[in-house]
Structure 1
Amino acid sequence: MATFRKLLFASLRCASTWCSYGRGLASVSLARRIKLAPIHKRNWISFGVAGALCAVPVAQADFSHEALIKRASSLVTDSANTYLSQTTLALLDSLTLYAKAIRILVSLHTRYEASASRLSTADEDAVWQVMIQQREEVVTRREQCKRFESNWMTAINLSELAAEAAYNAGADQASVTARSNLDLAQSQVERMRQVALEAEEGLRESRAEDSPRMEPAAQPLAAQEGEEEEEIPEAYLRED
């Protein structure tokens, strides 16, 4: 009986120990959960705070319809100014080359007329081929000017509309910049147009573009015939 009591007491003690150990593990697990929860919460709060800090500039930006239209009108004027500058440069270059081609043609024609009677047939053919090529160059440059001028006029219209849109949207600086670029482009093109018009006036006066080819061989032949008539002996001219 004493032995039985000892065994029973030992069993109850062991059971109590295991129960205490189980409660301890449960307490540790619960403590870990309780301890981890604030950590996750702090991490979540930190992430939320970081997101809030990143969102501050966006929250402060003005997304009203007026502000968006104003910004869009400024972007339109920037694009229109770029298109205008490129088309203006192309037109100025084409007008410069056109005027230069006309001056070369007029100069060639003037020299040709002055020396055609003294040129041999081979030299006259070579000069005339150069004249034909220069006439084709003038025509090509003229067509190029017309094409670039069409693009330039489109750019002018777009810039005027962009400047008006910026002014109506309240983008005063963009509107003023567009107007200044318009005035500058128009003044430059007008000045170069005047140079081209003066060159065309000289071309019309010289008739270098449509003058016919001269025949230098005809004059020496006529002179030879005159000389032969003068060399006829007087005896053949007397009447018997």
Structure 2
Amino acid sequence: MAALRRGAAFLSFFRSSHRVLLGTRKPLKPRIWTNILRSGVSSVAVGGAALCAVPFRQAENLSHDSLIRRAASLVTDSSSTFLSQTTLAVIDAVTEYSKAVHTLIALHRQYLTSLGKLSPAEEDSVWQVIISQRTEVDDRQGEWKRFESSWLTALKLCEVAAEAAYASGAEHASVTARTNIQVAQTQVEAAQKISLDAEKKLAEAKVMEVERMAQYAASGSEDEDVPEAYLRED
């Protein structure tokens, strides 16, 4: 009887253990898949959150007005570049012209200082230098006028571009173009004042030269002593 009781108890323990094992084994798969699904959903949620956190740049509304404003801005940029380049060219040309004029003035004054002290050969050599410098002045002036013509064209183009930009709604581009126009005009006017001052001094030097030559002729020198190159000056 004791053996039968122990066998029955063992069998009962085995069945109960089997039930527990079977009962715990079946839900494993749903729990595993549930965890997998949950982890997958959380990954997607995290990925979605990261994706939403990225600041996407919305495409600009490419309407006709926006395209026209953009084109007008490009035109003002190009015309302003054209204006700045021609402005620099004019300023450099005027500066070189003014230097050439001042050099010519210095040569004339040097000649007047040495009037009557040079031999005919030396005097002829001095006048060759003066004539060469006059040619330099003419060349520099021609270069200045050529660049000034391009500058005036650029100035008009920039003014038209500024008006077009303002009419299209690109106010900032219009204001920038007009500011560039004012700066260019101010710089060129300053350079032109320098050249006008040089020309004024050259005119004064010529008047002084005429007076000195007249005094030199009246002092007893004959007409042939007056350099032929000087007589052909004007």
Per the normalisation by structure 1, the TM-score is 0.62
User: Paired residue for 1:113?
Assistant: 112
User: Paired residue for 2:60?
Assistant: 61
Q: Which amino acid aligns with 2:163?
A: E
Q: Which amino acid aligns with 2:187?
A: Q
CA distance in structure 1 between the aligned counterparts of 2:221 and 2:198, rounded to whole angstroms: 37
User: Paired residue for 1:152?
Assistant: 151
Give structure 1 regions of 4+ aligned residues with deviation exceeding 3 angstroms: 219-222
Q: How do residues 69-148 of structure 1 correspond to structure 2 at under 5 angstroms?
A: 69-148=68-147
User: Paired residue for 1:229?
Assistant: none
Post-superposition offset of 1:221 = 7.9
Post-superposition offset of 1:61 = 2.9
Q: Which amino acid aligns with 1:156?
A: L
Post-superposition offset of 1:142 = 1.1
List per-residue Cα deviations over 1:53-108 (Å, max 9, x = no partner).
xxx97x83322110010000000001001100000000000000111111110110
SS in 2 for 1:60: coil
User: Paired residue for 2:36?
Assistant: none
Q: Which amino acid aligns with 1:150?
A: S
The 1:144–1:221 alpha-carbon spacing in structure 2 relative to 1, beyond 3 Å, is closer
Matched, 1:193 2:186: no
The 1:133–1:79 alpha-carbon spacing in structure 2 relative to 1, beyond 3 Å, is same
Q: Which amino acid aligns with 1:191?
A: A
CA distance in structure 2 between the aligned counterparts of 1:221 and 1:144, rounded to whole angstroms: 41
The 1:115–1:220 alpha-carbon spacing in structure 2 relative to 1, beyond 3 Å, is farther
Q: Which amino acid aligns with 1:96?
A: T
User: Paired residue for 1:162?
Assistant: 161
Post-superposition offset of 1:122 = 2.0
SS in 1 for 2:61: coil
Q: Which amino acid aligns with 2:176?
A: T
Deviates more, 1:87-96 or 1:199-208: 199-208
